[in-house]
Amino acid sequence: MSLDGKVAIVTGSGRGLGLAYAQELARRGAAVVVNDVDESVAAEAVASIVEAGGRAVPVVAAVGSTETAQQLVRTAVDEFGRLDALVTNAGVLRDKSILKMTDDDFDTVIHVHLRGTFTCVREAYGYFKENEVAGRIVTIGSPTGQRGNFGQTNYAAAKAGIVGMSRTWALEMKRAGVMVNTVVPVAATAMTRTVPYFAAAIEAEDAGEAMPAFFRHELGFGTADDVAGLVAFLSSDAAAGITGQVVGVGGDRLQLWSHPEAVFGEYREGGWSYDALVETLPGLLEGRLQSVGESFPELPDDLRREPARA
């Protein structure tokens, strides 16, 4: 099932993961509105799609404002006659531990990721509902939003918020036939490029070689192209009936993330006073405390790399 005749918007699609999503959508037949804040980067992305036989136009604007969301939807309709799918990929990083994180560091990440997703989805859904289009919305999450990560208070809040909004939208938009899902990519990016643990994987990708099986299989860590197929699938008619889901993909691994559920429950007649909690809660929680953050298996000796020295 192709995407012939469909029109998609991909925010933050000038480079990296977003570009891979846009190129895959175009490869499957969709016309694509490419978005980036850098005019030359957006132009290069559009050219890469057009030269491969696809259709694409740029929108150079920062995601976050209602005006940008309106411009994206208007461009899709003016240039290609309709809108069928929205992929909200745009984002920025301002990584710092909490005592070093400024108000601006926090607000910038929340504005682009969280507010940008909200405004673009609101605008796209307005078009879908008014024109009776059973559209597709694909938001982009992160393992950080699912598990937390040191130094990413702002990013974790934004990505967790995106998942919460997407589940709510799946409920609100179901009657209109609009499917809303979140993709959690695990792939080589500018951020992972600086992490020594992934050095052997990055070296392989830079050399045009396949990543070692340890990364692709054990970690579920791969390239941007490994994620693009899922984004295109969830943007297509083939995804009818799949909504409100959080799907992770990377390397050779596909994951379905569970919705938060209580893992333990205990009842006490009369409720839980402070004294009752002091008396019983430590024992009840022993062996049941939930982990935070991600943990990685030890690297095989042949994949270890010495950290670069300044």
Write the pLDDT tens digit of every residue in 64-122.
Answer: 999 999 999 999 999 999 999 999 999 999 999 999 999 999 999 999 999 999 999 99
Confidence category of residue 131, pLDDT binned at 50, 70, 90: very high
Q: How many domains does the chain have?
A: 1
* pLDDT attached to residue 273: 97
Q: What is the pLDDT of residue 310?
A: 43
The verdict on residue 305 lying in a domain is no
Between residues 297 and 250, which one has the greater pLDDT? 250
158 pLDDT more than 90? yes
The answer to whether 125 and 135 are in contact (CB under 8 A) is yes
155 included as an active-site residue? yes
Q: Is the pLDDT at 13 greater than 80, yes or no?
A: yes
CA distances from 284 to 260, 263, 264, 267 (A): 20, 12, 9, 11
* Average pLDDT score over residue span 238-260: 96
* pTM (2 d.p.): 0.94
In a domain, 81, yes or no: yes
Residue 198 lies in a domain: no
State residue 143's pLDDT score. 94
Parent domain of 179: 7-187+223-257
User: Is 96 considered catalytic here?
Assistant: no
In a domain, 104, yes or no: yes
Regarding predicted confidence, which is higher, 208 or 12? 12
Q: Is residue 282 a part of any domain in this protein?
A: no
Average of per-residue pLDDT across 163-190: 96
- Across the strands, what pairs with 65? 63
- Name the catalytic one among 21, 159, 166, 236: 159
Which domain CATH number covers 94?
A: 3.40.50.720
**Per the structure block, which two tokens stand in for 292?**
């935070």
pLDDT at 188: 87
Concerning whether 125 is annotated as a catalytic residue, the answer is no
Q: What is the pLDDT of residue 308?
A: 54
The residue with greater pLDDT, 298 or 276, is 276
Out of 142, 166, 235, 236, pick the active-site residue: 142
* Mean pLDDT score, 32-51: 98
147 inside domain: yes
In this predicted structure, which of 112-121, 130-139, 235-244, 295-304 has the lowest mean pLDDT? Answer: 295-304
The catalytic position among 155, 166, 235, 236 is 155
Q: How far is CA 164 from CA 107, 158, 250, in A?
A: 19, 10, 22
Q: Flag whether 240 is in a domain.
A: yes
Residue 185's identity, in one-letter code, is P
- Confidence (pLDDT) at 262: 94
- % of the chain at pLDDT higher than 90: 88
In a domain, 308, yes or no: no
pLDDT of res. 148: 94
Collect all residues with Cβ–Cβ distance below 8 Å to 146 and sequence separation of at least 6: 159, 160, 163, 184, 246, 257
